[in-house]
Amino acid sequence: MESIADNALMTKVRDGDLDKLGLLFERYKRPLYGFFYGMNRNQEVSEDLVQNTFFRILKYKHLFRGEGDFRTWMFHIARNVSHDHYRKDKIKAKDPIENWQDRLTSFESRATDIEHMEERQMLELAMDKLPADKREILLLSKYQEKKYKEIGDILGCSEGAVKVKVFRALQELKAIYQQLEKMM
């Protein structure tokens, strides 16, 4: 139902009623921010990326056809914004899995810091250690409310392929989490 309302609002934005974008911003600023923050753990950068996403929504509003789900379209743009940001600034989003063990070595020296780490913080740390593409699929799954078909639309793959990607990401996350647990 909300999706219909979203599409109706975005159609109005496309047709020139720009104020309606404010309503969509209020509705989606938190999940978008959560998605970006999950990717980079940087408040300021995440806020800027939310802004860039809405800037692009405004810039490419004429491309919104109103057929699909607005949220899916928005996350598609958000994902491009995130990729462009890292490409432009030549920032490596996060190390690939091959390198995370090296980082754990230095992390071990801070073992005392994590002794009292809460479960939640440990999960966040494990998420940070995931390769960017796996972290992204888990965040999309979270903020797209597990609508795997829509996530498939964003990523350009089938619903089944998304489920396998989520499965692999969760498996790897579990392995990292268990490693961290052992270190505590």
Partner 1 sequence: MEQARIDELVSKYNEGVADPSEVQQIETLLESGTIELTQLRSLQLLDDRIMKVEAPAASLRMDDQFYTMLAKARKKSTSKSFFSEILDWSWLTPRLAFGAAILVAGFVGGFMFQRQGGTDVTELTGEVQQLKEMMMLSLLEKESATERLRAVSLTSDMDQVSQTVTTALFETLNNDDNVNVRLAALDALTPYSRQAAVREELIRSIEKQESPLVQIALAELMAAIQEKKSLKELQKIIDSDKTPLDAKNRIKESMKVLI
Q: Which residues bind partner 1 (CB under 8 A)?
A: 16, 18-19, 21-23, 25-26, 29-30, 33-34, 37-38, 43, 46-48, 50-51, 54-55, 58, 119-120, 123-124, 127, 138, 141-142, 158-161, 163-164, 166-168, 170-171, 173-174, 177
User: Quick one: 46 or 72, whose CB is closer to partner 1?
Assistant: 46
As measured in angstroms, the least distance from the Cβ of 67 to partner 1 is 24
Dihedral, 54, 60, 63, 67 alpha carbons, nearest 10: 0
Beta carbon nearer to partner 1, 7 or 38: 38
Longest dimension (CA), the chain: 57
Say if residues 72 and 153 touch (Cβ distance below 8 Å).
yes
Cβ nearer to partner 1, comparing 117 with 123: 123
Residue ranges of E strands in 33-150: none
Dihedral class, residue 42 (left if φ above 0, else alpha if ψ from -120 to 50, else beta): beta
- Nearest approach, Cβ of 90 to partner 1 (angstroms)? 24
